[in-house]
Amino acid sequence: MLLQAVFLLLLHCLASTLGHYELCKSLVSTDEGPVWEQYACQPKTASMKDHMRIKVDPPGITCGNPPERFCTLENPYLCSDECDASNPDLAHPPQLMQDKERTGLLTYWQTVTWRSHPEPLLANISMSWNKSLELSDDILVTFEYGRPTIMVLDKSMDHGRSWHPYQYYADDCMDAFNMQPKLVADLSPANITRVICTEQYSRWVGSKNDKNVKFEVRARFSVFAGPRLQNMDSLYTRMESMKGLRDFFTFTNLRMRLLRPALGGTYVQRDNLLKYFYAISNIEVPARCKCNLHSSQCLLLDGNLQCQCEHNTTGQDCQRCKKSFKAKSWKAGSYLPTPNGHPQLLHTSWFPLRFQ
Ligand SMILES: *[C@@H]1O[C@H](CO)[C@@H](O)[C@H](O)[C@H]1NC(C)=O
Ligand SMILES: *[C@@H]1O[C@H](CO)[C@@H](O)[C@H](O)[C@H]1NC(C)=O
Ligand SMILES: *[C@@H]1O[C@H](CO)[C@@H](O)[C@H](O)[C@H]1NC(C)=O
Ligand SMILES: *[C@@H]1O[C@H](CO)[C@@H](O)[C@H](O)[C@H]1NC(C)=O
């Protein structure tokens, strides 16, 4: 009996120290004996690039079919590099954007060169997961041979039926999109979900100095949680009270629209179009499954991510009640009260229905 009490106490302490919604429930001892205490819970963050389905458009945008030569902005007169889709050593297919880079060997997707100038060189990269996800850190896209001078990141929350711009990127926001250039640092708590155009990741700094284009999640979180995200409770409290905040970080699909490649800090030089193209070596998407705070685990089942629902809920996102429970009492869990939150399901309305 004493041993059991100690065990229960231990479990309870574990729940409190884990914090941040890692446990959905724990057994606690009461005068009437052990009972389950239920908490809001969410899965751990993961590298979602491993589960992403990737598609590039238009057909034929990937280089190498037929084989073609290209050069680089830094070495424009040595056009001896070759892309050849039929040779594994010289091919640059889309899956190289999501492979694990072995040290010393960079692999990347690469497009055809801008031979069609003055027609724009356009490419879309669509990423889908067939699962609602929530960003937990910055999206990081790594470009080889220079970052695009104009691009848009879009997102969908309904599996690609509708799309919304997420962030605009240009070396001149006014010129490209008729938008004032902004930094996430310019945003206040009240307008943190504003869609901005940034010039931070599009200007020419040499192709090796900065290869990354970011969608800043950390900087947006830190507006509420402090510069080192030391006060996540404050962020989670805002997630509950501020309309649209959680949705802002939620997506099922992402799309990059590449609208103009790197130009090397100058105008397009028509006498050498073989140095203009896009090349991406990595796309990092740190996120967690959205389970409406009713699951602490998200598993890959038959190739699809799926929340392992608790609290008598079910569905891909734990977005409804289990069959034998009254459907109208479903609610998403709440981060409040911190640090363990609440499943938000009212016990009184949770008597199982009996079907005859
Ligand atoms: C990229 O997607 C947008 C939106 O669906 C579409 O209008 C555009 O034509 C696509 N571009 C390419 C190059 O496929
Ligand atoms: C998406 O996921 C759901 C639930 O896991 C599954 O039933 C469905 O077949 C999946 N769709 C595709 C296209 O994989
Ligand atoms: C956000 O709000 C701040 C302060 O209210 C304001 O200075 C800033 O211009 C706003 N940013 C945008 C992008 O609207
Ligand atoms: C789920 O159902 C069980 C059995 O009716 C009940 O004891 C438990 O409290 C319910 N869970 C929640 C989170 O309401």
184 alpha carbon – ligand 3 mean position (Å) = 10
Q: Which has the closest alpha carbon to 327: 350, 343, 310?
A: 350
- CA-CA-CA-CA torsion for 161, 167, 173, 178, nearest 10 degrees? 40
Residue to mutate (ligand 1; options 119, 124, 151; most atoms within 8 A of CB): 124
Which ligand is located closest to the Cα atom of residue 180? 3
Q: Is the CB of 122 under 6 A from ligand 1?
A: yes
Tell me the C-alpha distance between 13 and 35, whole Å. 15
d(CA 108, CA 95): 8
pLDDT tens for the chain, 356 residues: list them. Answer: 444 544 444 444 444 444 589 999 999 888 988 998 999 999 999 999 999 999 999 999 999 999 999 999 988 888 889 999 999 999 999 999 999 877 667 899 999 999 999 999 999 999 999 999 999 999 999 999 999 999 999 999 999 999 999 999 999 999 999 999 999 999 999 999 999 999 999 999 988 889 999 999 999 999 999 999 999 999 999 999 999 999 999 999 999 999 999 999 999 999 999 999 999 999 999 999 999 999 999 999 999 999 999 999 999 999 998 887 765 578 899 999 888 889 887 544 444 443 33
Query: Could you tell me which of 305, 269, 266, 251 has the C-alpha nearest to residue 126?
Result: 251
- In Å, what is the CA distance from 102 to each residue of 99, 107, 146, 323? 9, 9, 21, 47
Q: Which ligand is nearest to the CA of 156?
A: 1
Q: Which long-range contacts (CB under 8 A, 24 or more apart) does 166-169 make?
A: 166/195, 166/215, 166/254, 167/195, 167/196, 167/197, 167/198, 167/215, 168/195, 168/196, 168/197, 168/198, 169/197, 169/198, 169/199, 169/201, 169/202, 169/213
Q: How many CA atoms lie within 13 A of 197 on its CB side?
A: 16
Probe target for ligand 1 pocket from 126, 155, 257, 258, with the most ligand atoms within 8 Å of CB: 257
Residue 311 near residue 333, CB atoms below 8 Å: yes
**Contact status, residue 58 vs residue 125, Cβ threshold 8 Å:** no
Q: Quote the pLDDT of residue 69.
A: 95
Could you give the CA distance from residue 299 to residue 288 in angstroms, rounded to a whole number? 11
Could you tell me the two tokens for 101?
A: 């880079």
Is cis: bond before 337, omega within 30 of 0? yes
- pLDDT at res. 328: 59
Q: Quote the strand ranges of the chain, DSSP E.
A: 25-30, 33-38, 46-47, 53-57, 68-70, 81-83, 109-110, 123-135, 139-143, 150-156, 164-170, 197-198, 212-215, 250-260, 279-284, 286-289, 298-301, 304-307, 313-314, 320-321
Contacts of 102 (CB under 8 A, 6+ apart): none
Per-residue confidence (pLDDT) for residue 18, from 0 to 100: 44
From 350, 351, 353, give the residue whose CB has the most ligand 4 atoms within 8 Å, as the site to mutate: 350
Using CB distances shorter than 6 Å, the residues near ligand 4 are 38, 311-312, 343, 345, 347, 350, 352
